[in-house]
A and B are shown apart, each in its own frame.
Chain A
Amino acid sequence: MRAMLDFYLTQMKMALVQQFQYRVANYFYMIGMIAEPVIYLVVWSTVANAQGGSVAGYTPGEFAAYYIVWTLVRNMNIVLTPYAWENYIQRGWLSMELLRPVHPLHAQIAYFAGWKFVAIVMWLPIAAILAAVFQPEINTSPWAVAAFVVALWGGFFVRFMMLWLLGMITFWTTRVSAIFELYFTMELLFSGRLVPLALLPPWAQQLAAYMPFKWAFGFPIELLLGKYTQAQALYGLGAQVFWIALGAILVRLFWRTALRRFSAVGA
């Protein structure tokens, strides 16, 4: 157990140092990401203003708060892309990783986790500027902030496991872009990325509650914004644990079978 912790900390430190070198590239990427939430923010604020001040319980100020926290959660959501598996399998990178005594999953999680610290620090000035421009309103409480920090990382792990599972499909077929794009579109609509989930029709909101997307994205945002009672927040954190556990079990179940395909395809 101690060895595992040691491994994680070392990997994270490496990621931190490496990614900090590429500050400019990281910044460019983060700034490019702002266009999306700013557009949504302006559109929905316009709708809110037209409807006399608020839409589905969100005022323009709250939309601003939602989409600014969105940028942080979006950054935390960036995990190993399922498209990378095509490279790993065909270029034999995976063979290298399999020689290690640790499951490749751990190495990747640790690397991205370390990277996230760099992302969080670089996000702060961007958030400050966005807040100055768009005037967000937040009604939060200390426990909600603490729960948000937990939920933020919980969301990271949920999405990591889900995309790892998605990537594993590459062991069985190379024509994966259609499946991946379908997944990402569903995620866009049902996670709270396109619009706050409260703005979806009720049937869509019920559907979203059963899918993993919301717990990685919309849930942490709404938690920070003070939209949940303590009981609901606890339920949400539990849902995150459920999806992480489910992901881990599925990876455990299918990893050996996947590797058997790997020796047949990659070599």
Chain B
Amino acid sequence: MNFLRVAWAYFRIGALNELQYRVNFFVQLFESFLALATGLVGLALVFSHTQSLGGWSRPELLAVMGIHILMGGLIKTTIQPNMERLMGDVQQGTLDYTLTKPSDSQVLVSVREVRIWQTVDILMGLIIMVVAVIQIQARIGIGQALAFAAALLMGGLMIYSFWLILTTGAFWVVRMDQIVELFQGVYQAGRWPVGIYPGWLRSGLTFLVPVAFAVTVPAEALTGRLTPQTLLGAAALTTALLLASRWVWFTGLRNYTGASA
């Protein structure tokens, strides 16, 4: 599969490039620890005043936090750097260099960049998740584990499609820098299970910005709350979003006049 070989090549180059700067690893480690400490303090404060939040116990909320950090790490490692570079390319007109390459343009703009030190967050999220699962003392069967992995993968694909659709807006609007900050603000809502939010906000976080599918649904799979309907719904939405993002991408491309025009 050409797509995988291209992705692997870009990943190797990007990783080799960044691995030169080893101090950045420690900087990233420090920042991630600060963020983790803040999250844990928040959790401790909430549970100093109550026993459960919207039906979720403390270790279950710890699992949600772990998945939130993990997904955040995934976004910051692969999705965000590519989308930011795409925005820059559209503004500067340097997207031409990518479009002239003999590979699928959507694949290229999605795999070019990788920020290897952000994988610290992915690792940290995994560790927290494992600690949380041990605390829940749940016995995760094979089916549950598979459902969790599937939910995580679909959540990631949905966030990617959402980002791509949003970034393709740059073809028309050109300046989209605030969108990144807006998304980061909305993504913070994913630290808590979306069930606690009022109805209109919950719908927004499910269908407008798929944070619910990125964090809460995998958490539901891990804590045994997942219904088959939700999983099927996630699958349907993922397929729809992937197709929509590809269509939007090519429509946007037709609007791109580039540096040579």
Indicate, yes or no, whether A interacts with B.
Answer: yes
Which A positions have Cβ atoms within 8 angstroms of B? 25, 28-29, 31-36, 38-39, 42-44, 46-47, 50-51, 55-56, 177-178, 181-182, 185, 188-189, 194-195, 199-201
B241 at the interface (CB under 8 A from A): no
Q: State whether A185 and B38 are in contact (beta carbons under 8 Å apart), knowing that A47-B49, A199-B45 are contacts in the complex.
A: yes
A194 to B42, CA, bound (A): 8
Residue of B with least CB distance to A34: B185
A-B contact list, 15 entries, CB within 8 Å: A32-B178, A34-B185, A39-B189, A39-B191, A42-B192, A42-B198, A43-B46, A47-B46, A47-B53, A50-B50, A50-B51, A177-B27, A181-B30, A188-B38, A200-B45
Residue contact B201 to A35, C-beta cutoff 8 Å:
no
- Nearest Cβ on chain B to A56's Cβ, whole angstroms: 7
Q: Does the CB pair B50–A47 fall under 8 Å?
A: yes
- The size bracket of the interface on B is 20 to 34
Once the chains bind, are A178 and B188 in contact (CB under 8 Å)? no
Bound together, the chains give a CA A177 to CA B23 distance in angstroms of: 13
Instruction: Using A32-B185, A189-B41, A200-B45 as known contacts, say yes or no to A39 and B192 having CB atoms under 8 A apart.
Output: yes
Could you say which of B41, B45, B52, B197 has the most chain A C-beta atoms within 10 Å of its C-beta?
A: B45
Across the interface, do B30 and A28 meet the contact criterion of CB distance under 8 Å? no
Tell me if B49 and A55 are in contact (CB < 8 A): yes
Give Cα A217 to B38, complex, Å: 18
B137 at the binding interface (Cβ < 8 Å): no
Q: Which of B53, B178, B185 contacts A43 (CB 8 A)?
A: B53
A39 with B188, Cβ < 8 A, contacts A181-B30, A199-B45 known: yes
Q: Across the two chains, which residue of chain A brings its CB closest to B26?
A: A178
B196 proximity list for chain A (CB < 8 A): 42-43, 46
Assembled-state Cα–Cα distance A216/B201 (Å)? 30
Distance in angstroms from A211 CB to nearest chain B CB is 16
Closest Cβ–Cβ distance, residue A29 to chain B (whole Å): 7
Query: Separation in Å of the A81 CB from the closest CB of chain B?
Result: 14
Q: Is B182 an interface residue (CB 8 A)?
A: yes
A88 to chain B, nearest CB (A): 22
Q: B201 contacts A42, CB within 8 Å?
A: yes
Closest CB in chain B relative to A42 CB, distance in Å: 5
Question: Is B31 an interface residue when CB atoms closer than 8 A count as contact?
Answer: yes
Q: How far is the CA of A98 from the CA of B197 in the complex (A)?
A: 51
Whether the Cβ atoms of B181 and A189 lie closer than 8 Å is no
Q: Which residues of B sit under 8 angstroms from A182, Cβ to Cβ?
A: 34
